[in-house]
């Protein structure tokens, strides 16, 4: 059942054990909201990162919002965020009553410190550092920059669980960090997130914030479990006379599964589902994958190594090689990005388009999230040329060869 086609975005981490855990969980609804798995996941993060507190939420954006709210910043204080990101990041800033200030990117596709210097004002109070595609930002310079300007540094580790900078775990450099367990992240429970901090005062406030949250509804939780099951069947049948595609289409139309980004979020509005507490049943899915984290990340590094060795940089611009990167996706830059994606699709391969828009996904109204067009020219240029190759652990050598063949000739 789990012989899968190349599909970068459809819960690529799902394997047989994830599937059967979701099946079993369907029949124990009394354990969906509360249970021991929540504490176990939090303890895993607390121990792994050697931090004072780890606090779980139903999404990475919920974890970020909790951090921002708990900082008790004056309303309309400015927070530096990079362009070339998901709308979930600036939305959380806006929902917290703060103002996102967009900074351009450097060659690693992470925040450019020189542009950050230019955009500082007296109202700038915090800095969110994104490790794009699992490639670490230059934390020495960023920590020094934050200290120089008395900024609170928050690490966005949504792409970077298990990544390191100079042998130190990403997520341990600032006041706090947050992680995502979204359907196509390093570890997936379809939705989920974690905030970690060594600041006891801040941690206490985040805990108090979480204690005031309700759990998502049973229907919302059911949709996440169904996502695992439907994805498993859809992938197995994807190339069988369109059966898999039909399953996905009908599931979305019937709202049996939830979308990774809600329509309200594209408009800059806050859905009622965020923030919420992390349901126990999703925590059990995350635990299952956390046990496999070192092996999964080593697979990603080996797949990235294969791409580096077999795709000629004369054809496309390859990502930077950085020690400690986990390469959640292997992102190329090419003016032929849309053409190559289409060629791949005709051959049954679904490649990725993060971040094909300066503030992803398609349709985000920039004015609603405070992005001034033209303010980050490099990010805008890179977005138009981005093409993601998969690095998920179940990718086979034959499939890797198929992908590389797109860049031959």
Per-residue pLDDT tens for 43-72? 999 999 999 999 999 999 999 999 999 999
171 contacts 179 by C-beta, under 8 angstroms:
yes
Tell me which CATH code domain 31-211 carries: 3.40.640.10
Percentage, residues of the chain above pLDDT 70: 98
Q: Is the dihedral of CA 337, 342, 343, 347 positive or negative?
A: positive
Distance CA 204, CA 393 (A): 37
Q: Is 312 a catalytic residue?
A: no
Residue 339 has pLDDT above 70, yes or no: yes
Segments in 27-173 forming alpha helices (H): 36-49, 60-70, 88-95, 113-119, 139-148
Residue 172 has pLDDT above 90, yes or no: yes
- At residue 8's C-alpha, the angle toward residues 191 and 176, to 5°, is 40
> Nearest-CA neighbor of 169 among 194, 218, 202, 136?
136
Residue 10 confidence (pLDDT): 80
Residue 332 confidence (pLDDT): 97
Domains 31-211 and 293-405 share a fold: no
pLDDT digits 0-9 by tens, 226-269: 999 998 888 777 766 577 778 878 888 888 888 899 999 999 99
Fold entry, domain 293-405: 3.90.1150
pLDDT digits 0-9 by tens, 145-171: 999 999 999 999 999 999 999 999 999
Residue 3 confidence (pLDDT): 59
| Domain-wise residue ranges, the chain | 31-211, 293-405
Residue 252 confidence (pLDDT): 82
The tokens 């009622």 sit on which residue? 272
Distance CA 400, CA 42 (A): 35
> Nearest-CA neighbor of 80 among 384, 380, 375?
375
Q: Residue 99: phi, psi to the nearest 5?
A: -120, 115
Q: Bridge partners of 102?
A: 81
Q: Which of 185, 205, 245, 276 is catalytic?
A: 185
pTM of the model: 0.96
Q: What is the dihedral of CA 40, 45, 50, 54, to 10 degrees?
A: -90
> Nearest-CA neighbor of 289 among 377, 162, 379, 168?
162
pLDDT band at 1 (very low <50, low <70, confident <90, very high): very low
């Amino acid at each position: 059942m789990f012989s899968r086609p190349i599909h970068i975005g459809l819960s690529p981490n799902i394997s047989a054990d994830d599937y059967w855990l979701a099946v079993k969980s369907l029949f124990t609804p009394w354990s969906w909201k509360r249970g021991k798995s929540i504490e176990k996941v939090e303890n895993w993060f607390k121990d792994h990162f050697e931090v004072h507190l780890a606090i779980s939420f139903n999404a990475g954006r919920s974890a970020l919002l909790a951090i921002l709210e708990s900082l008790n910043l004056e309303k309309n204080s400015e927070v530096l965020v990079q362009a070339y990101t998901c709308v979930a990041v600036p939305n959380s800033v806006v929902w917290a009553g703060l103002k996102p200030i967009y900074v351009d990117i450097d060659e690693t596709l992470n925040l450019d410190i020189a542009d950050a210097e230019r955009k500082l004002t007296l109202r700038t109070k915090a800095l969110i550092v994104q490790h794009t595609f699992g490639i670490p930002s230059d934390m020495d310079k960023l920590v020094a920059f934050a200290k120089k300007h008395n900024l609170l540094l928050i690490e966005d580790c949504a792409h970077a669980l298990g990544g390191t900078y100079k042998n130190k775990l990403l997520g341990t450099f600032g006041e706090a960090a947050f992680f995502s367990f979204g359907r196509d992240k390093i570890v997936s429970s379809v939705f989920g997130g974690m905030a970690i901090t060594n600041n006891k005062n801040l941690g206490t406030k985040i805990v108090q914030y979480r204690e005031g949250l309700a759990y998502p509804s049973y229907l919302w939780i059911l949709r996440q479990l169904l996502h695992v099951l439907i994805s498993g069947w859809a992938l197995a049948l994807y190339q069988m006379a369109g059966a898999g595609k039909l399953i996905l289409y009908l599931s979305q139309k019937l709202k049996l599964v939830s979308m990774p980004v809600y329509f309200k979020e594209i408009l800059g509005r806050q859905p009622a589902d965020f923030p919420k507490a992390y349901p126990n049943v999703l925590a059990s899915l995350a635990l299952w994958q956390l046990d496999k984290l070192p092996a999964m990340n080593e697979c990603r590094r080996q797949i990235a190594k294969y791409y580096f060795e077999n795709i000629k940089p004369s054809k496309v611009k390859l990502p930077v090689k950085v020690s400690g990167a986990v390469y959640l996706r292997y992102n190329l830059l090419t003016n032929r990005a849309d053409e190559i994606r289409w060629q791949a699709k005709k051959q049954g391969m679904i490649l990725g388009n993060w971040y094909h828009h300066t503030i992803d996904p398609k349709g985000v109204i920039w004015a609603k999230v405070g992005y001034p067009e033209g303010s980050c020219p490099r990010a805008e240029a890179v977005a138009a040329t981005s093409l993601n190759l998969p690095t998920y652990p179940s990718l086979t050598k034959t499939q890797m060869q198929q992908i590389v063949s797109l860049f031959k000739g």
